[in-house]
Structure 1
Amino acid sequence: MSKQSRYLPLTKLEAGMVLAHDLLDKMGHVLLPAGVTLSDATIKSIAHHDVHLLSVVSDAGEQIIDVEELQRQLKRIDYLFRHASNEGAMQTLRQFIVHYREGLTS
């Protein structure tokens, strides 16, 4: 069975979930490597690093991200790119990020 990842807010994380990607701090240092199984203590400590979403491993066929969270992320992307022109590199970057969040890229 192939594995994929999904993004969850910290409030929806549970002990036993597996981290899909390295968790980095603001400076790019690895806080937790991919593959770590989360514990209650780990989840609590992550909150102290201003982390709002975490990528965890999910089985193929499972919903990758809930609709409300996706809408929140897309609104945030719109806000971040509000001053960008509708063409050029910034628009290409915006489209890539939207496709990534929608799960259209691997």
Structure 2
Amino acid sequence: MTAISAQFALNDVKPDMVLSDDLLDQQGQVLLPKGATLTEHIIESLHRHDVVSVRIAMGELTPEEDAIQRAHFQVRLERLFRKSDDEHANGLLHRYIRTFRLGEEA
């Protein structure tokens, strides 16, 4: 199944929420790893690090929802690349996006 996440302003974050992605500082250093459970102390610390928002795990898609989302991305990608010729750069970009959005092999 596919995980669902949402971006939250740090002021809206509550203890026991779980990060869906690694939280990085402005230099690219990991402040908190993906899956970290937030506490009141951690939230206060994030304010001191000038973090303004975080991605929070919201659950997972059902297999049916996942199939609908994959079909939606498939249609969008076909539309976006409908006029692209077979130039190497376009083909490479198309493959990378398909891998990212649809989980297909590049």
Letter in 1 for 2:34: A
Give unmatched runs, 5+ long, in structure 2. Answer: 62-99, 102-106
Secondary structure, in 3 states, of the residue corresponding to 2:37?
coil
**Cα RMSD after superposing both structures:** 1.8
Question: 1:9-88 counterparts in 2 under 5 A?
Answer: 9-60=9-60
Paired AA for residue 34 in structure 1: K
| Percent identity for Structure 1 against Structure 2 | 37
- Deviating above 2 A after TM superposition, structure 1's stretches of 4 or more consecutive aligned residues are none
TM-score between the two structures when normalised by the length of structure 2:
0.54
Query: Please, which runs of 5 or more residues in structure 1 have no aligned partner?
Result: 62-104
CA distance in 1, matches of 2:47, 2:23: 12
TM-score for both structures, normalised by structure 1? 0.54
Query: Separation in 1 of the partners of 2:17 and 2:7?
Result: 12
Write out per-residue CA displacement over residues 80-100 of structure 1, whole angstroms, 9 at most, x where no aligned residue. Answer: xxxxxxxxxxxxxxxxxxxxx
Deviation at 1:59, TM superposition (A): 2.4
Q: What is the aligned length? A: 63
